[in-house]
Amino acid sequence: MIRFLQRQRAPSSVLGLALDGSRLEGAWLRRSNGSLRLQKAFAATLAFYPLTGDPELVGREIRNHLEHAGIRERRSAVCLPPSWALTLPVQVPDLPEADAESFLQIEAEKGFPYTPEALSIVSSRFRSASQGGYATLVAVPRNHLAQLERALRAAQLRPVSFTLGTTVLQSPLKESSQGVLALVIGESSVDLQVTCGGGLAALRALDGAIETEGAQRRLHADLIAREVRITLGQLPAEFRETVRRVNVFGRGESVQRLVSELTPRLLALGLHTEEVNSYRADEFPGSQVPPDAQVTPALSVAAKNLSGARACFEFLPPKVQPWQRLTARFSSKKLMWAGATAGSAALLVLGAFLAQQWQLSRLQSKWTAMEPKVKELENLQHQIRKFRPWFDNSFRNLSILRSLTEAFPEEGVIFAKTVEIRAQNVVTCSGSARDTQAFLKTLDQLRTAKEVGGLTVERISGKAPLQFSFNFHWGEGGGDAN
């Protein structure tokens, strides 16, 4: 009966939303006879950022945009920006499934800068034929999700899914996505995703890849190609060799220029670049989108929701439906009445006692069978606690960035464009300065840091502004090497 009611309530329409910084895109889809029709679409820049603005004000602004676009739908599936997500790659030893989940929980507790209770964590597992299993842990702070959910409810929307835009455009679960590197061009950042081995191998947000000058937007193909090379270089060789295709998602002439500029650069890495302008025929099983539909995260998440495909990464906290609460309440009263009746009969008490003894005996047998596995897991946890102090907890990267920030003058006469940290102690910084004196003063200030050593200027060009690049080694006592 419950399944019948659920089928009767199957949704026929949904509003897909995609958040990219302060930009919000929406697509209202309706399902009819196996086809998906785009009812309305809109794009707007929010004056209040959802994470910092008052939820009531953010919700009111979203509601105004929806009313202006003529959208009346209440159910909404939302794509979160990958910049909200924290990722952690983990190599998983050969363990039983239950033990592997415990191992991943321990790795998440150790690797993320938040307590597990403060994060909504999902994982994507993938395997190597020679090196065993791997997993990518993806976490989003729960306060981000709660803030966004409050804003949506203030906008009179009912969220049914929180997922990532890159994963709805290039699903890691599909066979066609294996060996694919996806680049999703947003308004303020470029998102990078690598799928291979049956799961998600890498997920990054490339900050600085987009430069906005007035109404013009410039995509830095050199920087993107460099980040692609770095990301692939961080993968195990067996996975790296399977990645041969790059799918670029985006719209506009700037994206077309980016594809033409990236093609020769990535071809040198053995990668074939392709701009994705339309959906595959089998993209949404059982449903067809209009052939002229633009490929966007908002439309994709709405289409997946209506086609019944589950989200690869679901971050929306589970909700208890009213009928479930009613059923639980009714069942509780019934059980209380049955327990009171049974308690009045001595014979039933004796039968319950015998049943309890049988249950304890059965559980003891199960424990005897699983005890060796439990001891193995306890030994593994003991080893993890034993070697946990070996890991570096000194926040080296943050310390490096703090020293660089303190060395730069506050007057805004010198700017850093890129900072690269290799092998945890080799730091390369490039940028521009107003003149040589300001640049030399910054170098002198940086040399005073006791951890900085081997400071070397790699490149100086131009005069006003002056383009520069320098590197140094970071470590205790590094200042003596100057």
Compute the distance between CA of residue 397 and CA of residue 402 in angstroms, rounded to an integer. Answer: 9
Compute the distance between CA of residue 250 and CA of residue 31 in angstroms, rounded to an integer. Answer: 25
Of 285, 299, 371, nearest to 16 by C-alpha is 299
According to DSSP, the residues that pair with 427 across neighbouring strands are: 421, 472
Structure tokens at 324: 């479930």
453 within some domain: yes
Instruction: Count the domains in the chain.
Output: 3
Compute the distance between CA of residue 102 and CA of residue 470 in angstroms, rounded to an integer. Answer: 44
Q: What is the pLDDT of residues 225-252, one digit of tens each?
A: 999 999 999 998 888 889 999 999 988 8
Structure tokens at 102: 């415990």
98 within some domain: no
Identify the pLDDT of residue 338.
63
Q: What is the pLDDT of residues 275-286, one digit of tens each?
A: 998 888 778 877
Identify the pLDDT of residue 482.
38
Confidence band, pLDDT 50/70/90 cuts, at residue 336: low
Identify the pLDDT of residue 6.
43
Residues 380 and 410 in one domain: no
Residues 256 and 362 in one domain: no
Residues 353 and 476 in one domain: no
Identify the pLDDT of residue 1.
41
Residues 187 and 280 in one domain: yes
Cβ-in-10-Å burial (0-12, 13-18, 19+) of 201 comes to: buried
Residues 371 and 289 in one domain: no
Residues 229 and 344 in one domain: no
322 within some domain: no
Strands 158-164 and 199-206: unpaired
Q: What letter represents residue 86's amino acid?
A: L
Task: Name the DSSP class of 1.
Answer: -
Residues 48 and 185 in one domain: yes
Residues 276 and 418 in one domain: no
Tell which wins on pLDDT, 336 or 182: 182
Cα 388 vs. chain centroid, distance in angstroms? 26
The pair phi, psi for residue 63, each rounded to 5°, is -60, -40
255 within some domain: yes
Q: Tell me how far CA of residue 164 lies from CA of 2, 75, 78, 161, in angstroms.
A: 31, 18, 8, 10
Domain extent for 59: 11-83+146-307
> CA torsion angle for 211, 421, 231, 248 (degrees, to 10)?
0
According to DSSP, the residues that pair with 431 across neighbouring strands are: 416, 468
Residues 161 and 277 in one domain: yes
Give the residue from 273, 307, 341 where a domain finishes: 307
1 within some domain: no
Q: What is the CATH number of the domain that holds 163?
A: 3.30.420.40
Compute the distance between CA of residue 369 and CA of residue 356 in angstroms, rounded to an integer. Answer: 20
Residues 182 and 273 in one domain: yes
Identify the pLDDT of residue 391.
62
Residues 276 and 406 in one domain: no
Q: What is the pLDDT of residues 280-332, one digit of tens each?
A: 877 887 778 887 888 899 999 998 888 887 778 889 887 656 656 566 555 55
Q: What is the CATH number of the domain that holds 447?
A: 3.30.1360.100
Q: What is the pLDDT of residues 126-145, one digit of tens each?
A: 888 777 789 999 999 999 99
Identify the pLDDT of residue 386.
81
Identify the pLDDT of residue 329.
59
Residues 380 and 406 in one domain: no
Give the residue from 336, 365, 389 where a domain finishes: 389
Give the residue from 361, 389, 417 where a domain finishes: 389
Confidence band, pLDDT 50/70/90 cuts, at residue 337: low
Of 267, 205, 247, nearest to 81 by C-alpha is 205
442 within some domain: yes
95 within some domain: no
Mean pLDDT of 437-459: 90
pLDDT over 90 (residue 27):
yes
Structure tokens at 142: 């729960």
Residues 183, 249 contacting (CB under 8 angstroms): yes
State if pTM tops 0.85. Answer: no
421 within some domain: yes
The pair phi, psi for residue 389, each rounded to 5°, is -65, -15
Rounded to a whole number, what is the distance in angstroms from the first to the last CA of the chain? 78
